[in-house]
Amino acid sequence: MRSESQIATLHIEESPRFTSSPFEPSLPPITSLNDVDLTDPELLRCGDPHATWRVLRDQAPVFWHEKGARGTRGQGFWAVTTHAECSEVHRLTSVFSNTQTEFMDLLPEDIPNNLSSMDPPEHAKYRGILRAFFTGKAINARAEHVRALITAILDEAEQVKEFNFHDQIAQRVPLLATAALLDISPEDTMSLAMQLGALDYGGQDPLAAYTRAVMDFFDDLTRDWKRGEHDSIVGAVVDADIDGAPIDRADALAYLWVLFTGALDTTAHAATIGLLSLFHHPDQLELLRRDPSLATGAVTEMLRWTATSNVVKHVALTDHELAGVPIKAGDFIATYPPSANRDERVFADPFRFDLTRRADAPLFTFGGGPHLCLGHLFARMELGLLFEELFTRFPDLEQAGPAVRGEAFTMTLSPLNELPVRLR
């Protein structure tokens, strides 16, 4: 275990360590395909997953993982780690399905298919409900309101001086910004935040508890709404028609759960791990300190580097050859966004954190193909404004103690629950 002072100055070594985790791996990096076990939770908790993914990209970009995962009924699955092959899997929805199956499924059984687990043409019908709310023009129109929210949050932080960045800022920005986007009142927003904070994750499936809490919140919020009386994102979902009939109530609540959770969880982790990555790379931190306006462009590199979504699951609908490897109908496939984002074939010097990097290829941080996250422009805008305002106000912000890893129940890579910082 590193001391506080060691962790505060920790940087990412280019070799032989490839991780973007803030913690020194206690497990040696694998060097042989025989040692690969992507189902081992210790790989993410204590190991160096990027070293494992690099071996796979170099030796077996489409790798038969003999050991099964949850829901494979004792069979193995295909692990896909290169950018080109991940892109192919995400793009070819007629071959590779996102439909919810038991493969790596962590959701309660009674949760219906949602936007992230639908295939065309159903997916397009549901995604179309909110398309107009997430255009570039619509998102840009909200920028100054989000900036004002961030300013108010930073005003409060300035009074504290030393605090946990994750709790004080990283979680609150997407919570309040998303609530405003969904037109949820501040009172209802704080009520939901308190409900989620009070959940007892010890005695039950934590994802189930979280999912039900969010869906129950939206159920209570909209139960007495009359059709057409709320001109908002939430109103558009609960009032939607699918194939000429009102959307099923359970489907609407599942839609809102995915929308809310994706907006809150991913953005909060990206902000926290993004800041820690800056602390690990003083030269890049200095760039933002000198010119905070670089933040908007720098967010792309932060998202490439942090890639909070660890794995995306699929099932083959038909036989298909992927990178020369025959995939059979019914086979399970897992794509790994963090690996695709570090693929040497498309990103020059991919293990270098460089805020001035030009986008060499599309990122998989927000998914890909038809399943590119509906709110990705909103998340980018939030993060860009947050880091611009943060370093405009507090250019000498510094890490005040060791980061603490969270026991996250979502599919995140190196999530952090604590990042102590100090304003000077």
Confidence (pLDDT) at 236: 97
Residues 412-422 have pLDDT tens digits of 455 678 999 99
Nearest to 330 by CA among 312, 314, 350: 314
- The pLDDT confidence band at residue 31, using thresholds 50, 70 and 90, is confident
**Helix ranges restricted to H, 164-266:** 165, 172-181, 186-197, 206-222, 233-238, 249-261
The predicted pLDDT at position 251 comes to 92
Residue 117 near residue 98, CB atoms below 8 Å? yes
pLDDT at position 422: 97
Contact present, 296 and 207 (Cβ < 8 Å): no
d(CA 48, CA 39): 14
Superfamily of structural domain 4-422: Cytochrome P450 (1.10.630.10)
Per residue in 205-247, pLDDT tens? 667 778 888 899 999 999 999 888 888 999 999 999 999 999 9
Q: pTM for this one? A: 0.89
Q: Which two tokens stand for residue 408?
A: 């996250």
Percentage, residues of the chain above pLDDT 90: 60
**Domain extent listing, the chain:** 4-422
Higher pLDDT, 396 or 190: 396
| 82-134 residue pLDDT tens | 999 999 999 999 999 988 666 666 566 667 777 888 888 999 999 999 999 99
Question: Residues 270-290: pLDDT tens digits?
Answer: 999 999 999 999 999 999 999
CA atoms of 131 and 147, how far apart (whole Å): 23
- Identify which of 44, 38, 2, 28 has the alpha carbon closest to the alpha carbon of residue 406: 44
Amino acid 3: pLDDT = 30
Q: What is the pLDDT of residue 25?
A: 63
The 10s digit of each residue's pLDDT in 137-147 is 999 999 999 99
pLDDT tens digit string along 150-168? 999 999 999 999 999 999 9
Give the separation between CA 123 and CA 391, rounded to whole angstroms.
40
- Name the band, by pLDDT with cuts 50, 70 and 90, for residue 200: low
The residue among 31 and 402 whose pLDDT is bigger is 402
The encoded tokens of residue 1 equal 């275990």
Q: Residues of 104-133 as b/e, b for ≥16 C-beta within 10 angstroms?
A: beebeeebebbbbbbbeeebeebbebbeeb
Task: State the pLDDT at residue 109.
Answer: 65
| Amino acid at the residue 76 | G
pLDDT for 239: 96
Distance CA 416, CA 391 (A): 21
How many other CB atoms are there within 10 angstroms of residue 251's CB atom?
A: 18
